[in-house]
Amino acid sequence: MDIQKIELPRPKDFQESILENIGIGILLTDLNGNVLAFNKAAEEMWEFRKAALMGKSFLLCLAEHERARMNRTFEYVIRTEQGIKATRVVFQNHAGTILDINCFATLCRDASGEKLGVIMWTQDISEEKKLEAEVQRADRLAALGQLSLGISHEIRTPLGTIKALATLVKEKTKSDEKSLTYLNMIVSQVDRLDKLSRELLAYAGKSNLGVASLNIAELLKKVVYLGQLNNPLKKTVIEEEIAADLPVIYGDQEMLMQAFLNLMINAMEATGDKDRIRIKAFPDDDWIVVKITDSGKGIPGDCLDRIFDPFYTTKDSGTGLGLSITHTTISKHDGHIEVASDKDNGTVFTVRLPVKRGY
């Protein structure tokens, strides 16, 4: 029997191959913190070309507010000759993207035991942190939903009684204009509370979706029509770019209709008469993507992180529940919603819904 000879890689080549192909970013610095080498995973993570970083301080990879702390950690490793276990740091890659990173560091020595520098292992945990935040948010919203449901049920009955009695008194005091003014104010405020109560019920939402196959193109066209009816005096131009070949999705038509209507109304309220709103829908692999863009003044940066939180609003007459209801509805349909905004280009809400997925 012939036995084929297998040529084993040289140890140095083998080690370099492992370093280049391992999925963890590895960085080697000298004792001053200047970069001596880093592997392919680190290069892809930070989006720094080797030529741009070699011989320069590793601190350039970090967000500015992290540099002093990480420099102290680096000096600690060299001074004590002890490694550090996972420490969370914020990296800012060459493209300006902020990354949450777990970093490990230890002293590197040569064959004779002399200190060479520090070797660091870095692992991007941005997605894990994002998922963790989403889970925490979902838990908070679920608890708030239960509270909202209870409050809404408790206040609707007395509100109905107050309105009925105020209406009855109005009928008997038609000649007293001052009393009528007060009674009309009572009825108006009761109606306002009733609206809040109904939105609380919608926010708490039904636990089970009424799943059916949906033509999302037809649904969006109805949303545009209803949005225009909601603001009949506005002259905002609405541009539709809804693909004719959108695949079927499965979901609750009533809930999705309200979710998209909330986005449309929000866009109309953000725009003036000469502004435009564009609603665009197109397939993207196993997803349908819907973008609703307005050319308004944009949302301040400090508001974007809270825009889907319940009761958060910058409007005098708003309850702060519309966008929160939309976020909850899209999540219940295994979808995603994102918002981007700036003062020069307005705001765009992007919704992604899965195609033909059961619940």
The answer as to CATH 3.30.450.20 being correct for domain 11-124 is yes
Q: pLDDT tens digits, residue range 144-184?
A: 666 666 666 567 667 777 788 788 787 777 767 778 887 88
54-70 in b/e form (b: 16+ CB < 10 A) is eeebbbebbeeebbeeb
Q: Which residues pair with 350 in a beta bridge?
A: 291, 338
Band the pLDDT of 318: cuts 50, 70, 90.
Answer: low
Average pLDDT score, the chain? 78
Which whole number is the average pLDDT over 23-51?
Answer: 83
For the chain, domain boundaries = 11-124, 130-204, 212-354
Chain CA centroid to CA 72, Å: 33
How many residues are present in the chain? 359
Q: Indicate the fold that domain 212-354 takes in CATH.
A: Heat Shock Protein 90 (3.30.565)
Residue of 126, 163, 153, 124 whose CA lies nearest to 43: 124
Query: 70-77 contacts: CB < 8 A, separation 24 or more?
Result: 70/103, 71/33, 73/105, 74/29, 74/33, 74/105, 74/118, 77/105, 77/106, 77/107, 77/118
**Segment 187-238, tens digit of pLDDT:** 877 777 776 676 666 666 555 667 888 899 999 998 988 887 776 666 778 8
**Better-predicted residue by pLDDT, 135 or 354:** 354
- pTM to 2 decimals? 0.52
Pairing of strands 237-242, 249-251: unpaired
Task: Give the model's pLDDT for residue 305.
Answer: 75
Given a contact cutoff of 8 angstroms between Cβ atoms, the answer to whether 330 and 353 are in contact is yes
- In 3D space, the residue among 66, 70, 62, 28 whose CA is nearest the CA of residue 45 turns out to be 62
The stretch 88-102 carries a mean pLDDT of 72
